[in-house]
Amino acid sequence: MTIKFNTIDDFDIEGKTVLVRVDINSPVDPNSGIILDDTRMKLHSETLKELSNKGAKVVVLAHQSRPGKKDFTTLEQHSHVLSKNLNIDVKYIDSIFSHEAKETIKNLKNSEILLLENVRFFSEESISKSPEEQSQTLIPQNLAPIIDIFVNDAFAAAHRSQPSLVGFAPVLPSAAGRVMEKELKVLQNAIDNVEHPCVFILGGMKSDDSIDVMKNVLENGTADYVLTSGLVANILLFAAGYDIGKVNKKFIKDRDYCYLVKKSKKLIKKYGSKIVYPKDVAIQNKKGLREDVPVDKIPNFSIFDIGIESIKDYAKIIRSAKTIFANGPAGVFEEPKFAMGTEDILNAIASSEGFSIIGGGHIAAATVAMGFENDVDHISSGGGACINLLSGKKLVAVEALIDSAKK
């Protein structure tokens, strides 16, 4: 399937005012307020630098965190970090569509870059509507008249239907930026031309998304095996009839995931051995130490990782795969004693000859932290967007770009 959207190559951008939506949402130290990691800014630098080099007047829209969180802050510091990464002075203004902001946009010279304020400071940005409805909200209504072209490079947020992400495509010529373009081409090509055996490794905490992916890839024949870890594995073990201990059952119930246990029972019944769950798990015992126990003898302690025997089984399946998709860590990898599952799975992926995709979020961070980033074929910049795509859902921001291209 070819996704037909415009890219930067489809427009003559010299002298044009180009609005670029990026995702430079970054970890911020809650005490000092200092940005701790500029990975996403480096990622989007390719698009911004290209637009600047081609003589566009570049206006950047972005968000940082969300209301109520400690790292919900202005983008002033982001402008300094972007300036260093681009080796271009990135201007910043502490508003989105004030008279001053609009005048600054109108007065931009060719190749200049201006970063506007955190779009989530504006309440409409948190309301989800259709692209056509979002085009009538205040951010697009105020900015679209002074913009020539809209470029969406925020793949990591492409599953969100918010004004800054989908509201410009119905009213402006629109294109995918280089990050968006690469992500969609790599992921869609891997899905459309999957080589078998194909293995999906699903872990982490976002079990509802993971089980949707599991259902989709087994139904459509993409996956030969789905290996489970993290909370996903606990739900599968519960569904398979194992006593995972009161504390782990309570965790599932407290998150309102009982419906996922029922859903998993049906999937196990239908797909059997294609769904692989651990044969042993790691718990933190009374002494605070890691202890590996078989799944039919789990005591009433929290499960924090898959066990050593499971790791061996998973690694064997991974190393024989031709295509590998991984989303979510195997356990509480931030704690060294429970990092073994995540580290060994990533090591198996890195040493496999198969085409490998790491699906963003925590597993991407773990891949980099553990030094495997150069040994996998693609690390996605967006966990949520990637997992939505893999579960067969359409990404609303991408659909908006496709509709714009049709016009």
Q: From the annotation, which residues make up the binding site for ATP?
A: 334, 360-363
Tell me how far apart the alpha carbons of residues 207 and 228 are, in angstroms, rounded to a whole number.
10
> What is the CA 93 to chain-centroid distance, rounded?
28
Residue 212 is encoded by which pair of tokens? 């949707």
Annotated binding residues for substrate: 23-25, 40, 63-66, 120, 160
∠ CA(340), CA(345), CA(348), 5° rounding? 125
Tell me how far apart the alpha carbons of residues 84 and 90 are, in angstroms, rounded to a whole number.
9
Annotated binding residues for (2R)-3-phosphoglycerate: 40, 120, 160
∠ CA(65), CA(71), CA(74), 5° rounding? 80
Tell me how far apart the alpha carbons of residues 289 and 393 are, in angstroms, rounded to a whole number.
41
Tell me how far apart the alpha carbons of residues 175 and 404 are, in angstroms, rounded to a whole number.
8
∠ CA(14), CA(15), CA(16), 5° rounding? 90
CA atoms within 13 A on the CB side of 197: 14
What angle do helix axes 39-53 and 178-192 make, rounded to 10 degrees?
Answer: 110
Annotated binding residues: 23-25, 40, 63-66, 120, 160, 334, 360-363
Residue 317 is encoded by which pair of tokens? 């399946």
Hey, which residues does 7 pair with through a beta bridge? Answer: 176
Q: Is the preceding omega at residue 278 within 30 degrees of 0, hence cis?
A: no
